[in-house]
Structures are given as structure tokens and as C-alpha cells.
A and B are shown apart, each in its own frame.
Chain A
Amino acid sequence: MNKWILMAGVALAAACAWGGEMSVQVREGQLRNRASFLGAVSGTVAYGDRVTVGQRQAGWFEVTGSPSGATGWLHESALTPKRIVTGSGVDDARIGASGEEVALAGKGFSKEVEAEYKKQNAKLDYVWVDRMLLFKIPEAQLVEFLQQGGLVQ
């Protein structure tokens, strides 16, 4: 079975079982006014934000972000049933929460480990990697690009 479909099923079951809450697992999630990336952006949510999950449609969840209160549709690949613990909440993670329930932000293979690895591999150069990350095309321009190419309406 396709892993993402399975994960979506697990995520959906988990969301329902755990009071309809999930966490944002990408750096920034764009909320849209319909269940499609062609929909207009209605708000944003950040890594680790908790969202209340409503209806699901074709791989998208209707969510309300916390603490922002922003509402919109977010693709399921941006969500995890795990609670993502950052800085101040680490004690909660230590008390009784297993790795299956909690993800620790900034831990594991992280910026800190990358820096240590770089020290051991002096020839590695991240200049172009960092430049690549700036090649972000704004969502509206992507939609325009597709439309100009006669790809989507």
C-alpha cells in the first residue's frame, strides 16, 4: 500500500482519536481557501503549531491553527499526529512521552549535528545549498506559470 495513503489513514484515525488535533511538521504551512494548492492562501501556520482538524477531502484537512486562529485547508503531508516539542516544552517530553508520540524540534539530525559534521569534513560547502533554498517561487507565480502554459485553469 502506498506509504502516504497509509500514513494519511493513520493520521486521520489518530486525529479523530486524539480530539482532532495535529501538529504542523513543515517550516511554514500555507492555509488555503479550498482543498487545492490552486486555492488562495488564507493564512499561514508554523512548524510545531497545533491545529484542530476538521473535515478531510482528497488529501487535505480543514484546520484551525493555534494560537493564530487562522482557518483553511492544509495538505496532509504537512501534518503529523505527533506533538512537536520545542525549547520550553522539553520537560513535558521527558515525562512519559515516547518517541512515537512526540517529535523534538531541533534534535537528532539537526543544525547542531550539521555544524559538527562540517567541522569533520572541511571541504563541504553549503553556499549553493543555502542559495537553492532561496529559490522559492511565490505560490501566486506558480499558479500563473501553470495557467500561462495552459496546464491548469
Chain B
Amino acid sequence: MSGRIMKTRPWRTATAAALGLALAWALSGCETLNQLSEGITSLAVASGDLTEEQAASINRSTKAVTKTFEDITPEQEYYIGRTVAATVLLGYQALPTPKLNDYVNRVGQALAQFSLRPETFGGYRFLVLDSDEINAFAAPGGLILVTRGLLKCCDTEDELAAVLAHEIGHVEKQHGLRAIKTGRLGSALSTLAVESVKTLGGEQLAEVTKAFDESINDITGTLMNSGYSRRLEFEADGCAVDILRKAGYQPGALVSMLENMQANWVATRMDFAATHPPPGDRILQLKRRGLAASKETSAARQKRFDAMLQSL
């Protein structure tokens, strides 16, 4: 029995070390996770609780974890978002109607100020796509593209706001960057953390461009083909409700917009239906939060919304 205890003890210690690490990180604020990991595992090695090999493994894992999407700076996120948006635009035409785009940007940029992340490197911008599909794409950093077909699912400005707030939620939670597969960024970002030459050498540029290419493919593959998980879609709906409420819009407009969408839902279509949970599932989640459908709006909002509809 004692032999069994001896055999499992290092891993129990490792678990305790990991918990201690997380707690220490949360409390320290300015210490880096890597430094803490190395400090704790050194102690564990010194006390005989971990072997050198186990300590090295934990430290390597910690370093790998820290080279994830969270190491992408807002400036880098901006450049990823630009190329994601440009890639979406390979398959869709922009709707070049200044009044419509101006209106959608007024609603969207106002809403973004009420998100938990009102500031991104380049700011939030919205563009209407000339397509009957029901679809929307939130590129990292705040470039949001919405089809004419999705706008037609809205009966009020509040419902339009619900559509845009959901997409802002994806940006706020960095769902696009989370789609980048683990391991894509490690070498590229590690190199960049220590190499501060003004211009990248050919080999470095090729390496970083390859990581960029793979990251873009991961994100656009998710946005355009596979879709986010149901959990992330529900999370974006949760953000949308909070944003709508803070801005003064009817949060129930998200439910009524989803009901409109449900009426036009064709499960086999290669648009929103291919990348999103059925509206009924999202409605159910929202109703569990106590939300009821609402068509309520103000006369002033309806007037400007109707004027916008004319340009669709």
C-alpha cells in the first residue's frame, strides 16, 4: 500500500503545484506564469517530490499554454481580422450603399461601447454584404460583416441591434482567435518575443507568414464552414443580452429576431444554418434566462429603421 502511495505522490504534488500556480498567478498580477511554474517545480524537485523530467514537462506545458491566442496583441489581432474579412469578401460582394452602411455602423459602434471590450486596436466597423443568405461574420478585432438577408430578418432597430450585439459578443470573447489550433503560434511568437530586429529576415518572415496563413485558415474555416460550438454561440447571445440592456435596447429583441429567423430557417442551406445552432435552441436558452420576445421599440428608432429598410 505504501508503495502505491509513493508511486502516485509526485502527480498529486504536481496537481497541487498546478493549483498553487494558478492561485499564485491570480494573486500576483505582475509575476509571469512561466516564472512561477519554474519556481514551484524547482522547489518540488529539490524536495524530491518531482523528478527533473517531470518538472521540465510541466514547465514546457506551461510555456506552450502561454503561447496561445492570449499572447496575440490587439495590434496583431487587428491584422488577423483584416485578412479574415478580406477572405470572407472573396465569397461575397460588399453592398456599396453609403446610407445603409452608415446606419448599421451607428447602431453597431454605439452598441460596442457597452460591451466589456469597447476598445480594440482599430475599432469596431460594420459592412453589409450583398447576399440573400442569412449570415454574419465577426472577424477578430471588430470587423463585422452582415448579409442583406440577415438584415431582412429584422423588424425593428432593436432586432438589428440584437444581431450586431451577438457579433460584438464574438469579438469581445475573442472566439475567432480561439479557433486557432493549439501549437500554431508557439514558434512564431516565441521568436518574435526575443527578436526585435526592424525587418524580419527571409526565414523569419516565411515562418511568421506560415503561422499567419494557418491561423487565418483555422478562423475562416470555423466562421464559414464548421461554425463555433454551441457553447460559444450561447455565450455570444449572453453578451448580446448584456450589451442590449446596457445600451437601452430591448433585450427580448434577440428572442424575437431569432423567431423571425426560425420562420426562414432551412436546415440544409449553407449559410447560418450550417454554422449556427437552430434558432429554437438559442431561444430556449434565452427563455431559461427569463427573456421573452419583444417587438417593443420607440417611434424614433422605428422611423430611422424603416428609412434604412428602403435602401435594402
Q: Which residues of A contact B (CB under 8 A)?
A: 2-6, 9-14, 16-18, 25-27, 29, 37, 47, 59, 75, 77-78, 80-81, 85, 87, 90-91, 93-94, 98-114, 116-117, 120, 123-126, 128-129, 131-133, 135-137, 141-142, 145-146, 148-152
Contact = CB atoms under 8 A, between A and B. Distances in A.
Given A27-B121, A29-B119, A108 B73 contact: yes
B74 A137 contact: no
A26 B119 contact: yes
A129 B74 contact: no
Nearest to A94: B196
Interface stretch (B12-20, B101-109, B259-267): B101-109
A150 B109 contact: no
B79 A99 contact: no
Nearest to A143: B110
A145 B79 contact: no
B225 interface: no
B78 to A, nearest CB: 8
Interface stretch (B45-53, B272-280, B297-305): B297-305
Interface string B48-89: 000000000000000000100001111111011011011101
Contact of A98 (B143, B193, B215, B300): B193
A128 B193 contact: no
Q: Please list the 7 inter-chain residue pairs (A to B) with the smallest Cβ-Cβ separation, ordered nearest first.
A: A13-B29, A99-B193, A151-B248, A78-B119, A109-B76, A90-B196, A100-B32
B307 interface: no
13 contacts: A14-B30, A26-B120, A99-B190, A100-B33, A101-B32, A104-B193, A109-B79, A110-B75, A113-B209, A128-B89, A133-B123, A136-B109, A137-B110
Interface string B107-134: 1011001001111111101110000000
Interface in B183-230: 188-190, 192-194, 196-200, 205, 208-209, 211-213, 215-216
A109 B196 CA distance: 14
Contact of B122 (A27, A80, A117, A120): A27
Contacts of A124: 83, 86-87, 90
Nearest to A36: B113
Contacts of B32: 98, 100-101
Given A108-B189, A114-B83, A132-B127, A99 B94 contact: no
B209 A116 contact: yes
B202 to A, nearest CB: 10
Contacts of B120: 26, 77
Nearest to B144: A132
Nearest to B118: A75
A91 B247 contact: no
Residue from B34, B119, B212, B249 whose CB has the most chain A CB atoms within 10 Å: B119
B28 interface: yes
B121 A148 contact: no
Interface in B145-193: 157, 172-174, 188-190, 192-193
Contact of B30 (A3, A81, A99): A81
Contacts of A103: 73, 75
A38 B5 CA distance: 61
B87 to A, nearest CB: 7
Nearest to B189: A108
A85 B197 CA distance: 12
A109 B116 contact: no
Contact of A108 (B26, B76, B86): B76
Contacts of B73: 25, 80, 103, 108
A56 B238 CA distance: 25
Nearest to B298: A150
A99 B71 contact: yes
Given A99-B71, A135-B101, A137-B105, A90 B301 contact: no
A44 B101 CA distance: 27
A116 B198 CA distance: 16
A145 B105 CA distance: 11
Given A110-B75, A113-B205, A17 B212 contact: no
